[in-house]
Amino acid sequence: MLGIIQPTRIYLLNPYYCFDMELETNFEFDKYSIGVEDIKTEAEQLLKQGNEASISDNLKTVLATREKLKELKASEIRFSEPVLKQGENAVIFPHTINVIQGQAGVHKSRLAENICAAFLKLNGNKNELLGFNRLNFNATHTVVYVDTERNLSEQLPYALQSIQMKAGYSRADHPSNFEYISLLQINRKDRFATLNECLNHFKKSTNNPLFIVLDVSTDCIEDFNKTDKSMELIDLMNMAINEHNVIFLCLIHENPKSDKARGHFGTELMNKASTVMQVGFEKDASQNDTDIIRVKYLKCRSTARHTPFYIKYCNEAKGLVLADANEVSGVINNRKHKASNEDMTEFIEMYLGDGATLTRVELLDKLCKDFKASQRTIESRIAEIMSSDIEIFNEQGQGCKLSKETKEKTVYYKLIPNETF
């Protein structure tokens, strides 16, 4: 060393600890025209490079998403318009997962066929399609129908014919924006991978937005009761709707004698879905099935929950048609005199589904007028509902229990989501 020199102190940010690190050295920085700021700049650059090298791909994705959210948060949010309505009700929106659920044999697939036909419908076509209509006739979606149940010789070909003929095409036409596959011949354990591969193929083959129907969705995975297998398909759909211009419509069976969609997959699907429609036969006064089919909205994330609409199978049309209003009223009014638990549940959903709390007097007064029944009858039905496994849904589509509590000698009723118990 050339004599004694004054020590130089440098302060650097230690990346492993949340405090500054003081370094002392006898190197002659001034002699070589190296300033402290030069060293700090170089050190900060090295630290930055080191941090970037250690960032995982997942963290990069999260940080990139954060920057996008920051950009969107600073601007006016313009919500998407619906792409499909039923009558005046907005039903299906872009970038969403939607559900049709119901017991076996209630014409879920035929309802889905009408929705598909509405997406494919040619200008000038007069078919009613149960009131389904797309808002922008210049917008072209590619419909991808994925079937897992029907035979390949008659049932599925007939359903595909029905879709395109309802849309205004002839039987022999092959619309360029209508794709379809069957997973019936694929082993169940291989279906998810095959579905993923097919959807990637269709995304690459068109620039159109995709409307993908999974009929039935639980058959697209190995085991709908296993969390990991269920979440594979849920995650695939979630990623697709966020990264691409894609809409899903999932058909799913309900558990026997229950309003709950089947399996763990059904539970997760309800949570992720934007619109959930439940299809079921209306009952008569003796609780037997009628010809009238009710389509009830269990969940409408983007709007207020719509009132049900009613359809029926028509032999002449060989498909579903809107039910006559007088016929529907006759069935419902005849059944009201029985004040069944199922009917009363619907009215409880209507009065309490938005999170409202009603006193005993208020709720009984409404239900007595609705059903033209005595307070004793109504209270008996309410007690049965509270002690049974009947599914009650709020406006968010969450399964709930009817709760009764007393405050200062006044009895109150409200719906509490099952997940809070």
Question: From first to last of its 421 residues, what are the pLDDT tens digits of the chain?
Answer: 444 445 555 444 444 444 444 445 555 555 555 565 666 676 677 666 666 667 788 888 888 889 889 988 999 888 889 999 999 999 999 999 999 999 999 999 999 999 999 999 999 899 999 999 998 888 799 999 999 999 999 999 999 999 999 999 999 999 999 999 999 999 999 999 999 999 999 999 999 999 999 999 999 999 999 999 999 999 999 999 999 999 999 999 998 878 888 899 999 999 999 999 999 999 887 778 899 999 999 999 999 899 999 999 999 989 999 999 999 988 887 776 666 788 889 899 999 999 999 999 999 999 999 888 889 989 999 999 998 878 898 888 888 999 999 999 999 999 999 877 6
Topology, domain 84-336: Rossmann fold (3.40.50)
pLDDT of residue 341: 83
Q: Report the DSSP pairing between strands 275-283 and 97-102.
A: parallel
Q: Looking at the chain, which residues constitute the CATH 1.10.10 domain(s)? A: 341-420
The residue ranges of DSSP E strands in 26-139, in sequence order, are 84-86, 89-92, 97-102, 132-134
pLDDT of residue 1: 40
Contacts of 45 (CB under 8 A, 6+ apart): none
pLDDT of residue 30: 59
Q: Encoding tokens for residue 383? A: 């007690």
How many alpha carbons fall within 13 Å on the CB side of residue 217? Answer: 37
How many alpha carbons fall within 13 Å on the CB side of residue 157? Answer: 5
pLDDT of residue 32: 54
CATH 1.10.10 corresponds to the domain 341-420: yes
Contacts of 34 (CB under 8 A, 6+ apart): none
CB 162 within 8 A of CB 113: yes
Crossing angle of helices 360-371 and 341-352, rounded to 10°: 130
Residue 408 burial (CB count, 10 A): 4
Contacts of 196 (CB under 8 A, 6+ apart): 236
**CA-angle at 398, arms to 395 and 399, nearest 5°:** 120
Q: Looking at the chain, which residues constitute the CATH 3.40.50.300 domain(s)? A: 84-336
DSSP state of 270: H
pLDDT of residue 136: 84
pLDDT of residue 3: 45
The radius of gyration of the chain from alpha carbons, rounded to an integer in Å, stands at: 30
CB 290 within 8 A of CB 116: no
Distance (Å, rounded) from C-alpha 163 to C-alpha 279? 19
For the chain, the maximum distance between any two Cα atoms, rounded to a whole number of angstroms, is 110
Q: Where are the alpha helices (DSSP H) in 206-262?
A: 227-243
CA 388, 375, 350, 411 torsion: positive or negative? negative
pLDDT of residue 12: 47
